[in-house]
Amino acid sequence: MKTLLLASRGTYITDGKYEIFDKPRNQVKWAYITTAGKSVPNTAYINKHERRMRELGWDFEEVDIEGKTPDGLRKLLKNIDAINMLGGNSYFLLKCIRESGFDVVLKELLDQGLIYCGSSAGSYVTCPTIEMAAWKDPERFDRHGVTDFTAMNLVPFLIVAHCTPEVVSTIQPKIDAATYPVELLTDQQAILVKDDSIEFLEDPSIKSKDFGG
């Protein structure tokens, strides 16, 4: 069964209300993938997220997929139960996914029962494209030469993270023109995907603050 938890904010993965494992989250072996944060101006959120995982007693290993090979990734992720793909620069993350073969390896591991948790850019790359990364602020991130926005296509919809009424009003023409359905997530929301089943989750206790792009 393919299982993905796609959140707006990274804190939802650590502290949100969801049950997708057969054991407590601090007994899960996590790969904490921070690659998307290597091309953002402020990386404080990466360290903040790591501190929170340590506070919760999580068993995790930080992984950077840039420069890796498919075989290298298979070795790194061999004994991992779940991936925590943090947000940041969606274009840089997509570039590294393609060059490393992470997309191929991830599909293999999902078939074997690994669970993928993504936030912001980590959610975007599971969609058919990352076109929505440019909707709010087209100049926010360096695109690293990425002109083809085709992503991993693990879900049949697009996600827009960190939504507020003001954001939705601004991007409504983009939503209306999109080829795929668009799901809007506030920082308190996530989408749980189990094969073809889609469930919307919400936890008002998650504080609303940008946590990666």
CATH number where 20 lies: 3.40.50.880
Q: DSSP assignment, residue 132?
A: G
Q: How far is CA 186 from the centre of its chain?
A: 14
Task: Give the chain's domain count.
Answer: 1
CA distance 23 to 109: 19
What pLDDT does residue 26 have? 95
- Domain-embedded: residue 50: yes
- Domain-embedded: residue 42: yes
Task: Report if pTM > 0.85.
Answer: yes
- Domain-embedded: residue 152: yes
pLDDT digits (tens, 9 = 90+) for 20-58: 999 999 999 999 999 999 988 888 889 999 999 999 999
- Domain-embedded: residue 71: yes
What pLDDT does residue 131 have? 97
What pLDDT does residue 211 have? 43
Low-confidence ranges of the chain (pLDDT < 70): 208-213
- Domain-embedded: residue 165: yes
Question: Is the Cβ–Cβ distance between 177 and 141 less than 8 Å?
Answer: no
**Boundaries of domain holding 108:** 3-202
- Domain-embedded: residue 212: no
- Domain-embedded: residue 210: no
- Domain-embedded: residue 207: no
